[in-house]
């Protein structure tokens, strides 16, 4: 991690209830997938290009029609009020100030309308997407989609890697089964099938199929991002079923512990979609150079999750902004050293396994 991120993580660990720290920090099983997400980046190297005249650089990207100041966006993470009293409101304000995309979690401890309002109080054109778990009751899913639309979200990010909850052994040891009194997954309040004022539990279902994606596609005109794609065949199916983007993700190592690191899975997904839709990635991004590696391998943007939570827990809105600013500055620095003016200038032939070289390459 950057020195700034490392300091924020250390402070967050000191401030958080140890049970809540473990909830955010932990992964599934032996936490192999979680650790591999970071270690896999260390096994890769970037080959710089020189004398490219890139004295001015522009990190801005356009994602699904939304403009962001840079390709580092905020991935969905649940329960921000466990980390800081202001919760998702602080995260939204900091992300808007940084000019990037916030993917708000369906399991937020504030309703999506309040999150988008907080973001647009800072920047009227702030970009907020809504992360969604398809619910077994289609009426519940449809109501959640309508709330996201009404709140002004401009895309839906559908998490598809969770037919069941991951086995998170830290939470099991700690007996962390529910939120403390006064906190709830606010987007699940007053939904079809729940008593007035009550919240429904977020349900996972092994019965969900691609037919459910088709039903969702028919229910909304918002762009759909399918998050949790690791197999090239699923990437091809996602495109065929009308997804507007896919996100390579192993849920931060919180679902299948045997899953590969996301940066290792990325090239196969990029090849499978063959430029038909953008490919995003999250999992293990802790440096701007990590983002540069993913961009060079074909990602349009990368998401960060835990670092945002550490910034929030340590310094609230200021801490989240520090995380995003640090990663953005590091990415710009990597672009300068790699001969790139824009994120899209990075190329596959600039990525090698550490200890190996690569011949060839056209003039920049």
Q: Does residue 363 sit within a domain?
A: no
Q: Does residue 284 sit within a domain?
A: yes
pLDDT by 10s per residue, the chain, length 364: 668 899 999 999 999 999 999 999 999 999 999 999 999 999 999 999 999 999 999 999 999 999 999 999 999 999 999 999 999 999 999 999 999 999 999 999 999 999 999 999 999 999 999 999 999 999 999 999 999 999 999 999 999 999 999 999 999 999 998 999 999 999 999 999 888 989 999 999 999 999 999 999 999 999 999 999 999 999 999 999 999 999 999 999 999 999 999 999 999 999 999 999 999 999 999 999 999 999 999 999 999 999 999 999 999 999 999 999 999 999 999 999 999 999 999 999 999 999 765 545 555 6
pLDDT of residue 356: 65
Rounded to whole angstroms, how far apart are CA atoms 126 and 115? 11
pLDDT of residue 255: 98
**Within 10 Å of residue 359's Cβ, how many Cβ atoms?**
5
Q: How many domains does the chain have?
A: 1
Active site residue 84: no
Q: Does residue 360 sit within a domain?
A: no
Rounded to whole angstroms, how far apart are CA atoms 346 and 189? 44
Q: Which domain holds residue 32?
A: 3-353
Q: Does residue 195 sit within a domain?
A: yes
pTM: 0.96
Dihedral sign of CA atoms 211, 263, 91, 66 in order: negative
Residue linked to tokens 């899209």: 344
Q: Does residue 358 sit within a domain?
A: no
Catalytic residue among 80, 146, 251, 333: 251
pLDDT of residue 363: 58
């Amino acid at each position: 991690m950057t020195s700034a991120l490392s300091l924020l993580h250390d402070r967050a660990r000191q401030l958080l209830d140890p049970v809540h720290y473990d909830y955010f920090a932990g992964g599934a099983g032996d936490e192999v997938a979680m650790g591999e997400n970071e270690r896999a980046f260390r096994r890769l190297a970037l080959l710089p290009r020189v004398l490219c005249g890139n004295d001015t650089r522009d990190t801005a990207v356009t994602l699904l029609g939304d403009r962001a100041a840079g390709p580092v966006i905020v991935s969905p993470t649940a329960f921000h009020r466990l980390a800081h009293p202001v919760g998702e409101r602080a995260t939204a304000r900091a992300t808007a100030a940084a000019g990037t995309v916030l993917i708000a979690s369906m399991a937020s401890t504030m309703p999506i309308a309040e999150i988008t309002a907080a973001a647009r109080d800072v920047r009227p054109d702030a970009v907020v997407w809504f992360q969604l778990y398809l619910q077994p009751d289609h009426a519940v899913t449809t109501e959640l989609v309508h709330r996201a639309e009404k709140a002004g979200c401009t895309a839906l990010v559908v998490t598809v890697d969770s037919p069941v909850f991951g086995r998170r052994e830290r939470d099991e040891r700690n007996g962390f089964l529910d939120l403390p009194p006064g906190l709830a997954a606010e987007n699940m309040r007053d939904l079809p099938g729940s008593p007035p004022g009550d919240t429904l539990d977020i349900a996972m279902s092994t019965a969900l199929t691609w037919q459910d994606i088709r039903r969702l596609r028919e229910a909304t005109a918002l762009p759909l991002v399918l998050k949790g794609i690791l197999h090239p065949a699923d990437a091809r199916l996602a495109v065929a079923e009308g997804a507007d983007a896919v996100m390579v993700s192993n849920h931060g190592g919180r679902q299948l512990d045997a899953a590969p690191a996301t940066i290792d899975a990325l090239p196969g997904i990029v090849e499978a979609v063959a430029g038909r839709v953008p490919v995003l990635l999250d999992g293990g991004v802790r440096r701007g150079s990590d983002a540069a590696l993913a961009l060079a391998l074909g990602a349009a943007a990368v998401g960060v999750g835990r670092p945002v939570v550490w910034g929030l827990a340590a310094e609230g809105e200021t801490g989240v902004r520090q995380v995003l600013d640090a990663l953005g500055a590091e990415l710009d620095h990597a672009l300068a050293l790699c001969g790139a003016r824009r994120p899209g200038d990075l190329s596959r032939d600039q990525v090698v396994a550490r200890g190996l070289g690569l011949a060839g390459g056209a003039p920049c």
